[in-house]
């Protein structure tokens, strides 16, 4: 089933200062990693480890990265890997940053930047071998529909992996509230809800690794 378009939250399109700060932290494992540990008690290296899944895709694979943001996941892509890497985001500014990062990693020839809403992805059913969605679900207005749309474009036996700020702990509620007020965060979900959304969308073998406020999920599309 193709989902109807739903609007983004708007705030990201305005190139918020928070976006620049966030991008800086994820690109600087030393100081940025310390900021992650202090702010959300999470190990930033898990994001890099999850992104390494990209480098394991064989030549000819199609990878969808949504939301690509500033391109943090590109560190997993290898020069000459000969894959098609669709970098999708609702913000042109973020796509420009992704392409700057792609040039820095010498992988720009494999990356196609696409303006897209995660609720209406410009890929056909079963088009992608791998979908990566880092630090994204909590930013979307309808995270459960985003999961369903990402699963739709995944091939049978394709992998989905990503991360999200979880709603499980009350400790981070002030952060979540501030983000929602700023138009940068959506309703998000708990770890159990994310696992449920994935499973309901045909994703099997779902794992969730929690590191502080962030949950890392992974699963395989089965039909
Ligand atoms: C916190 S950033 C994460 C980006 C990147 N994956 C990372 O880990 O650094 C969230 C991104 O979600 C994008 N975004 C927000 N709503 C979106 C939507 N409805 N569809 C696609 N992208 C969206 C924003 O533009 C922003 O780049």
Asked if residue 64 has its Cβ within 6 Å of ligand 1, the reply is no
Residue 4 has pLDDT above 50, yes or no: no
- Where is average pLDDT lowest: 16-20, 31-35, 78-82? 16-20
List pLDDT tens digits, range 169-178.
999 999 999 9
Nearest to 97 by CA among 26, 6, 180, 185: 26
Pocket-testing residue among 14, 25, 90, ligand 1, by greatest number of atoms within 8 A of Cβ:
90
pLDDT for the residue 75: 97
List pLDDT tens digits, range 19-39.
888 889 999 999 999 999 999
Asked if residue 135 has its Cβ within 6 Å of ligand 1, the reply is yes
Q: What is the pTM of this model?
A: 0.93
Asked if residue 70 has its Cβ within 6 Å of ligand 1, the reply is yes
Residue 6 has pLDDT above 80, yes or no: no
Pocket-testing residue among 20, 50, 69, ligand 1, by greatest number of atoms within 8 A of Cβ:
69
- Domains recognised in the chain with CATH numbers: 11-221 (3.40.50.150)
With beta carbons less than 8 A apart as the criterion, state whether 27 and 70 touch: yes
């Amino acid at each position: 089933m193709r989902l109807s378009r739903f609007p983004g939250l708007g705030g990201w399109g305005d190139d918020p200062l928070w976006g620049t700060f966030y991008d800086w932290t994820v690109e600087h494992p030393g100081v940025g990693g310390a900021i992650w540990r202090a702010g959300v008690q999470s190990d930033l290296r898990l994001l890099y480890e999850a992104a390494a899944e990209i480098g394991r895709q064989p030549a000819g694979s199609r990878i969808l990265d949504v939301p690509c943001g500033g391109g943090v996941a590109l560190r997993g892509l290898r020069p000459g890997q000969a894959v098609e890497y669709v970098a999708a985001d609702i913000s042109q500014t973020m796509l420009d940053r992704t392409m700057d990062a792609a040039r820095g990693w010498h992988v720009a020839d494999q990356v196609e930047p696409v303006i897209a809403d995660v609720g209406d992805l410009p890929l056909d059913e079963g088009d992608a071998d791998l979908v990566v969605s880092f630090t994204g679900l909590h930013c979307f207005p309808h995270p459960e529909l985003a999961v369903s749309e990402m699963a739709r474009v995944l091939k049978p036996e394709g992998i989905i992996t990503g991360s999200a700020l979880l709603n499980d702990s009350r400790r981070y509620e002030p952060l979540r509230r501030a983000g929602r007020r700023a138009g940068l965060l959506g309703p998000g979900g708990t770890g159990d809800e994310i696992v449920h959304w994935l499973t309901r969308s045909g994703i099997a073998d779902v794992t969730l690794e929690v590191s502080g406020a962030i949950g890392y999920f992974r699963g395989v599309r089965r039909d």
